[in-house]
Amino acid sequence: TGLTALDYGFVNTSSTKSKITYIDGEAGILRYRGFPIDQVATKLSFVETAYLLIHGNVPSQNELENFEDNIRRHTLLHEDLKDFFSGFPRRAHPMPVLSAGVSALSTYYEDSLDPSSPAQVETSTYRLLAKLPVMAAYAHKKSIGQAFLYPDNSLSYVENFLRMTFGNMAEDYVQNPVVVNALERLLILHADHEQNASTSTVRLVGSTDANLFASVSAGINALFGPLHGGANEAVLTMLAEIQASGESVAKYVERVKNKEDGVRLMGFGHRVYKNYDPRARLVKDSADEVLNALGVNDPLLGIAKELEAIALEDEYFQERKLYPNVDFYTGVIYKAMGFPTRMFTVLFALGRLPGWIAHWREMNLDPQTKIGRPQQLYIGEQQRNLPGFN
């Protein structure tokens, strides 16, 4: 019947088959191409993880060098694109700036418009991986009124991004392996999560044969929302508000439980995980490590830990199987590293990029792919007539 087909939020509908990422939400398991997330996050670099997600196997030394060389070859942005960034209002949120920048790549690389050409898909993949960190750094530099820095290809992917974002200040970071490794790890933990809202968006847009840039730009916009990638920003705002208000953590939890003004415990709950998010565990360890290494004593970390402890003991959260998700502790780490709150979701986008690319390519090669076109149940007026028609 029509009713069984109605599936708000696609809770019961698989939109595709995929070989990329496996999740068992009840057991709290996440694997990239079969490898458990904790193994990937401790053994591989972010670029190796990108290769793994996109190509299906861990790269050999040769494959990795080749992959990294190709990324380096594409790090420069067209000079005119700088004017594009300059044109935004100074206080522009970096997420829409990022999605607009990615969308604009199609205008500079018209050859990318043919997604049926494997060579073009390969080049677009390198262009995206190379240019997204540069655009992310530009979006930040623009918001603080500083000059854009050119990429330095002698640095690693993550070091290069840190330098372009923080300029001279980045020397402390680039020389501090705790910071570089923590950012590598955070990007890896965000690299893919099967059919989440932004990845499904990338697939839906790509199913129309739109190119990789248009599809990823749409994915960035989907990620912007506070129920998805924007949650990392929302968590920090929530923690800062609790701190500023002087309200006790227990009282805040009560307000969440009473659903006062629809207030939610940001960074808690997940559509798929009904157990502790395996990524959140790894992020929590990193939070202590990074803050200690940087000598930062941020009371917001204490508030986060207290919130977690109270929520995990509380019936409301237990009944609904609500646990901290990947975003709960990331913000405290990004803040300690010196990123402004508004850059947090941009960091998520940098991490998720390989996943978006891997899914777009998997879909593009799958002969069973059809244009995505959900159905609806019409509940509006039956036919009625304008005056003069009977």
If you search the block for the tokens 């069984």, which residue do you land on? 4
Q: How far is the CB of 351 from ligand CMC (least distance, A)?
A: 11
The one segment of 51-59, 112-120, 244-252, 262-270 that binds ligand CMC by CB under 6 A: 262-270
CB of 348 to ligand CMC, least distance (A): 7
- Binding to ligand CMC (CB under 6 A) within 171-210 occurs at 193, 196
**Closest CB to ligand CMC among 248 and 318?**
318
Closest approach of Cβ 54 to ligand CMC, in Å? 20
User: Distance between CA 346 and CA 193 in Å, rounded?
Assistant: 17
Q: Which stretch binds ligand CMC (CB under 6 A): 98-106, 157-165, 269-277, 372-380?
A: 269-277
User: Which of residues 219 and 267 has its CB atom nearest to ligand CMC in the complex?
Assistant: 267
Contact pattern for ligand CMC over residues 288 through 327, marking x by CB under 6 A: --------------------------------x-x--xxx
CA distance 132 to 47: 13
Question: Under DSSP, is residue 277 helix (H, G, I), strand (E, B) or coil?
Answer: coil
Distance CA 117, CA 122 (A): 9
Stretch that binds ligand CMC, among 27-35, 105-113, 171-179, 263-271 (CB under 6 A): 263-271
Is 314 a known active-site residue?
Answer: no
Six token digits for residue 199: 């990845």
Angle between helices 118-144 and 344-365 (to 10 degrees): 170
- Show the site string, 321-340: x = touches ligand CMC by CB under 6 A, - = not: -x--xxx-------------
CA distances from 232 to 224, 225, 238, 302, 317 (A): 10, 10, 10, 17, 20
Active-site choice (192, 193, 228, 327): 327
Q: Are 360 and 202 in contact (CB under 8 A)?
A: yes
What's the CA angle centered on 237, arms 236 and 241, to 5 degrees? Answer: 115
User: Residue 281 pairs with which residues in a beta bridge?
Assistant: none
Residues 3-62 touching ligand CMC, rule: CB under 6 A, are 9
Q: Give the 3-state secondary structure of residue 169.
A: helix
- Bridge partners (DSSP) of residue 324 are 268
Q: Which of 93, 190, 270, 359 is catalytic?
A: 270
Which of residues 170 and 253 has its CB atom nearest to ligand CMC in the complex? 253
Question: Which ranges of the chain would DSSP assign to H, the alpha helix?
Answer: 37-43, 46-55, 61-73, 79-86, 94-108, 118-144, 157-166, 170-174, 177-189, 197-206, 212-223, 231-245, 249-257, 278-294, 299-313, 315-319, 327-337, 344-365
Cα torsion angle, 328, 333, 335, 340, sign: negative
Which residue, 155 or 312, has its beta carbon nearer to ligand CMC? 312
Q: Which is nearer to ligand CMC, 65 or 260 (CB)?
A: 260
Is residue 279 within 8 A of residue 34, CB to CB? The reply is no
At closest approach, how far in Å is the CB of 232 from ligand CMC?
8
Nearer to ligand CMC, 63 or 254 (CB): 254
**Residue nearest ligand CMC (C-beta atom):** 269
* Of the candidates 240, 233, 232, 238, the residue with the CA atom closest to the CA atom of residue 253: 238
Which residue, 99 or 123, is less far from ligand CMC as judged by CB? 99
Taking residues 215 to 244 in sequence order and writing x for each that binds ligand CMC by CB under 6 A, - otherwise, the string is: ------------xxx-x-------------
Query: What's the closest the beta carbon of residue 320 comes to ligand CMC, in angstroms?
Result: 4
Residues at the contact surface with ligand CMC, assessed by CB under 6 A? 9, 193, 196, 227-229, 231, 256, 264-271, 320, 322, 325-327
- Residue positions annotated with a catalytic role: 270, 327
